[in-house]
Amino acid sequence: MTSSGTVATPVDVGEETPYVGAKAGRGRKHDPGAKSPVWVRIVLAIICLLWIIPTFGLAVTSFRNQDAATNSGWWTSLSPSHITQFTLQNYGDIFQKASMGEAFVNSLAISVPATIIPILIAAFAAYAFTFMSFPGRDILLILIVALLVVPTQVALVPLLKIYGQLGISGTFLAIWLAHIGFGMSLAVYLIRNYMATLPKEVIESAKIDGASHFQTFWRLIVPMSTPALASFAIFQFLWVWNDLLNALIFIGPGPNQPLTVALVSLLGQQGQGWQLLTAGGLFTMILPIIVFLSLQRYFVRGLTAGSVKG
């Protein structure tokens, strides 16, 4: 009973009172479990089909004989009456004519160091730009990020001349140095943005405990930065694995040629040999797909790090 004679209605503290007013919508959070609109599903389905259909056509052509692949489209072989067009000889020919097995090992020898080395160097640099103070830090970071707008093609001729003077043209070292230099700016940018989102309290606690910068970096920052490192590893590995321009310039045809250069040799001068080219292309796709599927859970986390505050 209140002083005015009205009876006070008890409030159930267990119930959450809805927030009514102009700001009610601002406090609502997006429900991850909510179903997406129909138009979103339709757009995603169309995008998936645009990617799957050419890939499926590539796979079908890789199993067709030369006459069928040259004279008709791959969709014509989907009927049961054309089952005789399919053969496994194309995959045997690519290993004999283009030495795809040796080229596969060469691509691994090029891609793995050209992916791991930039990650290590960029991780050290990102740690310094994020958690260490030194004169000109911000200016140096801006200069490194500004290199992202410089086309890599402008450096090909100078690098080729330098490699010729050093006598390393056509070696793995030449292509390693090229890919490391071309990928360093993006690596520093992505990893530094992610490290900037890490809690500073962890670093301060490590300093209080007497940990050095190397111990803090290796035992704390690297495990916590796994999403950023994995996302850049995907980018760098796919770029190096599928690269043709740098491989032709710094390696070229020969005993050290990677898969991309070996694929070019499968196509005849008159445009013949599509069945071999598709078989080789499908063979080169296997490892990148495995790498992407293995690291995809880190992909979005690494790319969106630092993009939103709060």
Looking at the fold, whether 72 and 127 belong to one and the same domain comes out as no
Any bridge partners for residue 64, and if so which? 86
Question: pLDDT tens digit string along 42-81?
Answer: 998 999 899 889 888 888 888 888 777 777 778 887 777 7
116 domain residue, yes or no:
yes
Looking at the fold, whether 82 and 97 belong to one and the same domain comes out as no
- Would you state the pLDDT for residue 67? 79
What is the dihedral angle through the alpha carbons of 226, 230, 231, 236, rounded to the nearest 10 degrees?
Answer: 140
- Would you state the pLDDT for residue 19? 43
185 domain residue, yes or no:
yes
What is the dihedral angle through the alpha carbons of 180, 184, 186, 188, rounded to the nearest 10 degrees?
Answer: 140
Choosing from 45, 67, 87, the residue where a domain stops is 87
Looking at the fold, whether 272 and 257 belong to one and the same domain comes out as yes
- Would you state the pLDDT for residue 23? 45
- Would you state the pLDDT for residue 217? 87
CB-CB contact of 136 with 286 (8 Å): no
Residue 287 φ then ψ, to 5° = -65, -45
Rounded to 5°, angle at Cα 59 from 55 and 64: 140
Looking at the fold, whether 232 and 248 belong to one and the same domain comes out as yes
- Would you state the pLDDT for residue 258? 92
- Would you state the pLDDT for residue 18? 46
Looking at the fold, whether 98 and 200 belong to one and the same domain comes out as yes
**Residue 65's domain spans which residues?**
36-87
- Would you state the pLDDT for residue 304? 57
Looking at the fold, whether 123 and 248 belong to one and the same domain comes out as yes
Burial class for 168, CB neighbours closer than 10 Å (0-12, 13-18, 19+): middle
29 domain residue, yes or no:
no
Q: Which residues of the chain have pLDDT under 70?
A: 1-34, 268-273, 298-310
18 domain residue, yes or no:
no
Amino acid letter, 173: L
- Would you state the pLDDT for residue 73? 78
Report the CATH number at residue 188.
Answer: 1.10.3720.10
Choosing from 87, 117, 147, the residue where a domain stops is 87
Looking at the fold, whether 157 and 283 belong to one and the same domain comes out as yes
Residue 23 φ then ψ, to 5° = -95, 10
Closest C-alpha to 90, from 284, 274, 259, 285 = 274
For the record, the structure tokens of 154 come out as 């402008």
Q: Which long-range contacts (CB under 8 A, 24 or more apart) does 280-289 make?
A: 280/94, 280/98, 280/100, 281/58, 281/62, 282/58, 282/59, 282/62, 283/91, 283/94, 283/100, 283/104, 283/259, 284/107, 284/241, 284/242, 284/259, 284/260, 287/241, 288/237, 288/238, 288/241, 288/242
Looking at the fold, whether 163 and 193 belong to one and the same domain comes out as yes
Count structural domains, the chain: 2
CB-CB contact of 102 with 74 (8 Å): no
Looking at the fold, whether 285 and 178 belong to one and the same domain comes out as yes
